[in-house]
Structures are given as C-alpha cells and as structure tokens.
Structure 1
Amino acid sequence: MEKSKKTDMSFIVSMNDDLLQNILLRLPAKPFAFASCVNRSWNIVCNHILSRPKLVSAFSRNPNQLKAAQEVLDKALSEPIRPDFVIANMTSGKMEETLSLITKRVGSRVPVVVSLVGGVLGKEACNDKAGEVTLYDEGPQSFAILLTVGYLPGIKVDVIPVIQAKEETEAMIGDRFVMDIRNFVSAVSDQAAPACLMLFGEGTYATEPIIRKLDYAMPPETIIVGNQKGEFLHKRANESRNVQLPHKDESRVLAGLIFARDRHKPIQAGRVQFHTAISRGVSSVDLSYKVANAIYGLPKCPATLMTAKRIGEAEVLNGNQILDDIEANQLGNPLKEPGLYIGVIKRRKYYVGLEQKPKIMSSLVFHEVTGADEQYLLVSGAGIKTCDQFQPYIPDLKVAEASLSDVSSQLRNIVSKPNKREVVGGFVFAGIGRGESFFGRLNADSSPFLENFPELRFGGVFCDGEIGRSLSGEEGEEKEESCRQRCLHVVSSVYLIVSYACS
C-alpha cells in the first residue's frame, strides 16, 4: 500500500505543465492554494494561472443569512483565486456574522468591507442570471447579499477607516484620512497617490466635507467611487480581530478601500487599469438662485432651513414661493415628491495639514428637498452658506436612458482593438431611486455590462448617495469657475470598470 502511494505521488509530481495546468485550473480556491505549496514547479504553474486579474461577484436571495453567505462564498471561491480584498453588501442582517464567516474562509490577511445597502444587482450565485433586489421595490423584509472577491496582480489593497472622536472636527479627520492614505501609498508604491479609492460612508454630517477634501487632495487620475450613506464594518489586512468596535466617544464615518500600484511589480501593476463612467439621472431646471439665509439642523440628522433670491433679483423667497417658482417654470407640471433636488455650488478654500496657501475649489453638491412652508425651504444635509448659488434638479428618465447608452459606448471603447485591453470586472453604485420603479424594466443599470460583456460576473449596489468623481463645465462661466468638481450624485449610477492589458 505504501509503495502504491509513493508511485501515485511520483506520477503527480512528474506530470507535464500543460496537463498539470489543466487540472489545477479546475480546483476551487482553497485546494488551489494548497497545490501551489507542493513544490516549486507547481507554484510556477499556479502563478501562471493567476497571471491575469479577477473580479468575481455573485449575489444570493436566500432568506437565511448564513446559507446565503455560504452560497456566494462558494460561488466566488469555486475557481482558482488569491483574494486581495473582499466586499460584502447586504440589504439587512448582522454584519458581524458575515464578516466573521468571510474571514474564516479567506484568511486574516485579506482586507474586508461589509456594508448595509438599499439593494444589490449582478448575477445570482445559483443560476448565473442577471437580477436585482431593491428594498424600494421588494420591501424592507427582503434579504440579499452580494459578495465581490478581487485578485489584482501588481496592486496593493487595504482598508483605511475614518473614526471620529467626540472632540474632533470634520477638518481634522479629513486631514488625517488624506495623510493615512498618502502614508499607505508611500509605503507600498512608487506612485504619489492611489490608483483608486472605493468609499463606504455612514451618512453622518462629516462624510460630505471629507469626500470633497479627498477630491481636492487626490490628483485627477485617482478614481473615486462609493456609497456616501449606509452602515459598514471593516477588517484591515493582517488585523487579528474580526470586528473592531469604536470607543463609546467615537463614531464611524467612512471606510476607504485603497488600491495602490505595487512598487515591486511595476509591469503587472501597469497592466491593471481602473475606469469610471457615470449615468446621470437628473436634469436641471432653468432657474438660478442665491441663498439668502441658511439655518442648520442637528448634526446627527443634518438638514438645512433656507430662503433664497433669484439671481439678479432682490426679493427674498420663502420655501413655498421657491417651490411655486420651480413648478411654474415646469410649465405647470406638478413636482413629484420626493424627487426634487437643488445642486449647490460650494466654492470653498481647501488645504491639507500645514499647507501654506489654501486653494479655492468649486464643488457641485446635491441636496434633496424634503419640505417647505411659508418661512423656509427644508433640504437634507448641511454645509450650505449664505450667498451659495444653486439650481433645481429633477429626475429625468430620458436623460438616464441616453446616459446609459453613453456608458455602454464607453465600455466598448475600453476594449477597442488599438487598446488591446480586456474588461475583467465591474462594480456599480446606483442611486436608490433607480431600478425597475424608475426605468419600468429590470436590469437597466446592468445593461452596459450585459450588452458588452454578457459573461462578466459584475456586481453592484443601490445606495443613498452614490459617489463618482467627475467634472462639469458650464458655458458662460468665468475661467476660475469653469471646472466644478462633482463627486456626489443623485438618481445616477457610477460604474467602476477594471481592465487588463492583454499584451
């Protein structure tokens, strides 16, 4: 019997590389990891198999949270992969249990983010069919979990959290977050900034100014995407504990999944690229206002009471008058509630740490209109100042459909023949107001992927406050105002696409 075992082992070790690769390709992630440790020859074959990046997503509607998590983990780890990061998005349930299960399956060295969201989209683990689950359409009792596992050779990944102490201001934690990101990048990369930031926010008052500071501090080539409002747990790479709860005088604000190019693998790092595309879902009403007075609400539930003047006019309008003015400009069409937003141009001075000269940056930030009376217009969020200018915006299906077509074209351009690139994965941050209820059809936000890459295992979430870095220029503006940063969107979908240079 012992002689037979030795003969079998001798045969396995002596297999030619082509046969060995064909066998190893069929292994799930964990047995594949063990196989890579057999000997140097096997390790070389395993490294060859994993020479290309992978971004695998799968979701489950199983109402049993534990079984659903097992299903998506089994699907994502059913092929050879060495996870560089894991993201789990849930519509409800206990995040601690999911984080613990993921860590048990992928190991303690892998950074993980678990978040609660308003819905998920992608392909189901059980049948590979495209689908979506939103709390808006299916009710708060529905459950779904989406798992995304990534392997990006040449890219270093970790989670950096923003935890706010009771005495800390938004400026202080924003500076610390920027410096933590820069320190991580300088430790692992020859680049000055990360290639991509994926953000998961708690929806506190502090998230918006931090995101705008990131927009200021990071160079234009850094991709910034994410979800501004939600709940999250995280585990950093090599962190021993599964869950780190904040101190009683601290609160979670944000977690950033940081993607930096590895200085030790410059060739592989250059082959992986991140791209963004944005499908807008609102159009502006042809009116411009200036804030006459702004009163803030409570920090834990940020809101602003305001009055305004039309640009060039002296009369101060109360909340009801502003709504009447907008409705009249809509040719008498009644405004849908909810669904009215104001886009505020916030022209602010920015600096990080001990920078000597603050710089001015203009950001377009959306605030939802939540009420009005004979005194004030009530909008969500804070940070609005007297003399800020704004325009009304309303959801627009025609704009959204046309914009989806543009996104589909952008995806096709990524893999055009001269570029010799291959799309290996994608992730969508879609506004919670979209989905079937907005488009009147299923899988609209998935369509750019389904039309161009039907076999791609993409994923995405429906969220309240999608983040996507973009620029908007308005005709007739002065030169210094012509470039308005726009990181925060409404009724839009932000697409993160990962591509790979094939040659």
Structure 2
Amino acid sequence: MESREAAPIYGCKDDILHNILGRLPASTLANAACVSKTWHRICSHFLSRPMLASALSLNPSLLGAVEEVTEKVLSKPIRPHFAIACISEQFGLRAAHLLLSQRLGSKTPLVTHIGNGVMGTEALTNQLRESIFSEKLQVKWDYFDYQGPHPREANGFSDVSRGMVLVVGYVPGLKVDAIPLIHPKNDFGISMVDAFVRHIKAFAYSVSGNHPPAAIIIFGDRKSDMNDIVATMDQAIGKETVMVGDGGGCFLFNSRNYTINLPPDLYVLDAVALVFAKDSHKSPDVGETRFRVAMAGGLVPFGPRFEVVDVLVKGDIKWTCFSALMEGFNTMLTFEAVIETLLETVSDRRPDLYIGVSHGRRYYSGNGRLIKKVSESTSFHQVLGGEGEYFVVEGVGVRAGDTFLFYHRDLETARTTSEIAFENLTRLKQNFMGSEETVFGGLIFACASRGQSYFGTPNTDIYPFHANFPSVPVAGIFCKGEIGRSSSSSSSFVKPHESQEQAPPHCSVHASSAVYLALSYLPPP
C-alpha cells in the first residue's frame, strides 16, 4: 500500500482518476481529497493556481437566487479563501447572509453587501447582465432626509427588482481575512479609524512580516463618513497596496480571526475590509497573485472655486449644510444665484451636480494673504439642494476653510474614459504577451447613476474588462461611492481625460465612475 501511495500521480489509472476528479464540484472534491494520499495529491493539482468563480441571479426568490449562484460557483474545483455577495435590499440582509454562510462555511471570510445593482454572468443562461435594482429618481434641489429602518435591521418585500451576484476566490500564496470598523452606537464623535488601520497592518504583518497588504477591498455603510475613513487609510497605508470597494451600502461579514464581542445594540458597523496579505510561509511552487486597477471617470469640473464659510451637519442623517464665498470676493451669494449662473455653461438644465472638496494645508504670507494650498485629499459630495445662502450636500466632512469646485456628470466624458479604461486593460493584456502571467478574474465597482439607462446601451460598464478578457470570470457592483486607488507599482490606473485637467490631484472615493480590478497570476520560475 505504501508503494502505491508513493507512485507517480499520472500513471494510466491516475490519468483516469485525474479526469474524473476534475469534473467534480467543490464540495465533492473536498471530500475526495480525504480518501487517500494519492487522491489528495491529485485534488491539490486542481488548486495549484488561483481561481475566481462568479455567478449572477435575478431570481426574485432569495432561496432560488442563493441556490443558483452557489451551485454555479461551486460547480468546479475551488476552495473558498474569500467570498463577496452583493444583493438587493429587498432580499433581507440577515437572511441572505445566513444562507450564504451555510453554503460556503462560517469560517470563510464573507461579506454580504447591499448594493444598488449587480453585473456579471447569469448562472442559468451564461449571458452577461447588468441590473440596477432601483431606478428611483434622485432627490435634487430639496433637503435630503433618510427615513425608515436601517437595512441591517429590516427585511424588505417590495416589488423593486431583486437579484444577487456571488464571487468566490481561491488565492494560494495569500492570506485573506475580513476586518471590521466599528464605533459605539450612542457616540458618533468617537472615531475608531486609527484602530481599524492598526488591525489591518497587524494582520498583514502577522502573515507576511514587513510587507504591507497586497490589496484591500472595502465595503462601507451608507451612514458612515467613508471619505474620511478612506482618506485616513490612504495616508496610513503605503501606496504599494491597491484599494477598491463600495463606500455606500450596508453589509454583514464573517471573519476567520476577528469577532465583535459586543451586543448589537451597542455598536455600529462603519466598514469592513477584505485584506489580502502575502503569506511568508507559502510553498516555493506557488506563484504570485497581483492586483491591477483601471478607472473610467464621469465628472467634469466647471465654474470658479469657492471657499466654505459656515458649516452645519445634520446629526446622523449625514447631510451637510454650509455657506460659501467665491474665492476673491467677500459677498455671500445665494444658492439660487450660484446654480443659475453655473448652469448657463451646462446644456442639461437638471444635471447631477457634485462638489469636489479639497482638504489640505494652507500657507499664508505675513499680511494674511493665502500663498498656496497643498491639497492632500479630495472628497465628492452630491448637491441635494439649497436655500438662500446655504448649500445642502450629501455626506459629511466638509469643513470651514475648505475650497471646492462644482462638477457635473458628462456623458461624453464617461464614454471617453471608458475607452481609456479599455485601452489600459488592453495594454495590461499586451504586457503579458511573451510571459506566463495571466489574468484570472476581475471585479468592477461602478456608480449606480451609470448603467444602461445612462449610456443607452447594455453592458457598457462591464465591456472594458470582458472585451479584453472574454473567458475570464468577472462580476461587479453598482455603488454609491466607488473606492479606487492603484498601487504605486501599477501602470494601469487611468490617466485623466483632457476635460478633467482641473480635477484635484488625488481622490480615492469617486463619483459617477467605474473602477476595474484585474487579478493576475505569475507562476514561479
């Protein structure tokens, strides 16, 4: 028996066994690996390279949708190292998370996230699909208020379209875990972001020594100040680390090592990070998984620069009211006058407007004159309305003394930068020619204001990736605040369109954009 176990794997009988095992679903293959040492070696052959499996379902039944996507992603040999599920709010977050945890295992790092829509390959038809769950009209020119229970505490049963996309990844050579950011429920003044960053770094260092995380996929709660959270992470975590994600949803998670030892009524989940760190103890026959980012924008700056004067934040509803001066003038202008003047330069009389706020250090001369302002970060806030001399924008983090430009959505810019993202991904593919590095999966985080209703054609956001890598699994989420930061070593991050030359120099939480994450694998020498 010992001599048979030590025999070469690919004898005649083993070739037959190899062929049979290669057709087994993930759960059956895991059981087969326990039969004998030979079977374990053959099963391990299927898991020598990283894999990404994804599936989309628009089944209106939660049970039906979970069944469709899990059957599809687990139909081939894969060992889940992490999983991401984006669902419609109407499914009910807790119920969906429980069902997915049962199928994938409670120790698999899993983020179940309520998004604004999904994209990917449909499980039943193998067709590419993009679906935005709700085409509700956005609130404009009026005060914004968030009513109703938080999605984490509610289960919805409305007639809004439903669906989900599931992504399961296997990444040998990396360690993955989900790390949460929480704060006390009754004290919104306490920030735990620094502790969040320490936990991320501690996990990375525990598995990879002095190496920073290879990548972080972040999911933020819609009531959290993700601009501030991501800006803090951007400053504290080296540029070698890729960061992508959705900053405006709602989520639950499973983690291998991190638990929250507090009753649910005492804390709030602000964000969760799926952290990918290099395993310092990986086998020498395991290659390297790499992360590359490209982006398509959609905003154009216009008008003069303004300075924030007086700020009012409305509790935990998360909108900000402020007054502003046009730089170089001392007269307060009314919201109506500013908007009317700005819209004279825009063809769309009811465009989606944003402000791009620059946060940074200011340098003054001895007589108090502003010499220069060094921008450290930029945050985008959608304009919701205004009255008199006050403007109302979505989100928090706007401070007195900040300066900002107005931005508007522009279809031509969105199309042009999508072409640039396509070209960047094409360049990435061309760079791999002649080498053994290959792309094995992709993730997309696109603004919910994009999609077919905006472009007029289906699958526009998924096209740049799928057209370059048609046989590679890809899935995406329609977001409210797309997070995207390239690593310092990546050359695939999109260059600004010429119409965006005035854009602030640095931003990690975007608006009206699409962020593409390509996962590639370089085998060992």
Deviations 1:44-68 (A, max 9, x none): 2222221111111101111110111
State the partner residue of 2:112: 114
1:310 deviates by: 2.1
| 1:499 equivalent in structure 2 | 520
Q: Which of 11, 15, 18 is the equivalent residue of 1:18?
A: 15
Q: Does 1:344 align with 2:357?
A: yes
Matches within 5 A, 1:49-128: 49-92=46-89, 93-128=91-126
Instruction: Give the Cα–Cα distance (whole angstroms) in 2 for the partners of residues 266 and 20 of structure 1.
Output: 25
Match of 2:199 among 153, 177, 180: 180
Structure 1 or 2: larger helix share?
A: 1
* Offset of residue 364 of structure 1: 1.1
Letter in 1 for 2:173: G
Structure 1 residue runs of 5 or longer lacking an equivalent are 1-11, 350-359, 475-480
Q: What is the aligned counterpart of 2:472 among 436, 456, 468?
A: 456
Q: In angstroms, what is the RMSD of aligned CA positions? A: 2.8
Amino acid at match of 1:486: C
Determine which of 191, 200, 214 is the counterpart of 2:233. 214
Show structure 2 runs of 5+ residues with no match.
1-8, 137-157, 363-373, 487-492, 497-501
Question: What is the CA deviation profile of residues 337-369 of structure 1, one whole-angstrom value per residue up to 9, with x for unaligned ones?
Answer: 5x00010001169xxxxxxxxxx8611110111
Give the secondary structure class of the aligned counterpart of 1:292. strand
Counterparts of 1:447 and 1:106 in 2: how far apart (Å)? 29
Structure 1 partner of 2:26: 29
Picking from 298, 302, 316, the partner of 2:318 is: 302
In 1, the alpha carbon distance for the partners of 2:65 and 2:266 equals 34
With over 3 angstroms needed to count, the CA separation of the structure-2 counterparts of 1:88 and 1:401, relative to structure 1, is same
Which position in structure 1 is the counterpart of 2:336? 320
CA displacement at 1:410 relative to structure 2: 1.7
1:197–1:223 contact (8 Å) kept in structure 2: yes
Deviation at residue 13 of structure 1 after TM alignment: 11
- Contact 1:96/1:233 (8 A) holds in 2: yes
Q: Determine if contact 1:246/1:252 at 8 Å carries over to the other structure.
A: no
CA distance in 2, matches of 1:245, 1:404: 44
Q: 1:439 aligns with which of 449, 455, 462?
A: 455
3-state SS of paired residue (1:183): helix
**TM-score, length-scaled by structure 1:** 0.87
Which secondary structure state, in structure 2, belongs to the residue aligned with residue 407 of structure 1?
helix
What is the alpha-carbon distance in structure 1 between the residues aligned to residue 127 and residue 262 of structure 2? 37
**TM-score under structure 2 normalisation?**
0.84
Summarize the Cα distance change of 1:29–1:334 in structure 2 as closer, same or farther, 3 Å threshold.
closer
> What is the number of equivalent residue pairs in this alignment?
471
Which one of 151, 155, 165 corresponds to residue 146 of structure 1? 165
1:411 aligns with 2:425: yes
Tell me the distance in 1 between the aligned counterparts of 2:512 and 2:67. Answer: 32
> Does structure 1 retain, via aligned residues, the 8 Å contact 2:134–2:160?
no
Do the aligned residues in 1 keep the contact of 2:247 with 2:483 (CA within 8 Å)?
Answer: yes
Deviation at 1:103, TM superposition (A): 2.3
Q: Give the alignment partner of residue 379 of structure 1, picking from 375, 393, 400.
A: 393
Change (3 A) 1:229 1:244: farther
Question: Among 281, 290, 293, which residue is 1:273 paired with?
Answer: 290
Distance 2:43 2:218 in 1: 32
Quote the Cα distance in structure 2 between the aligned partners of 1:342 and 1:262: 41
Query: After the TM superposition, which of the residue ranges 38-47 and 80-89 deviates more from structure 2?
Result: 38-47
| Counterpart amino acid of residue 103 in structure 1 | S
Contact 1:56 1:150 in 2 (8 A): yes
Identity rate, percent: 34
Task: Report the secondary structure of 2:118's partner residue.
Answer: strand
Change (3 A) 1:473 1:346: farther
Q: Confirm or deny: 8 A CA contact 1:368 1:379 kept in the other structure.
A: yes
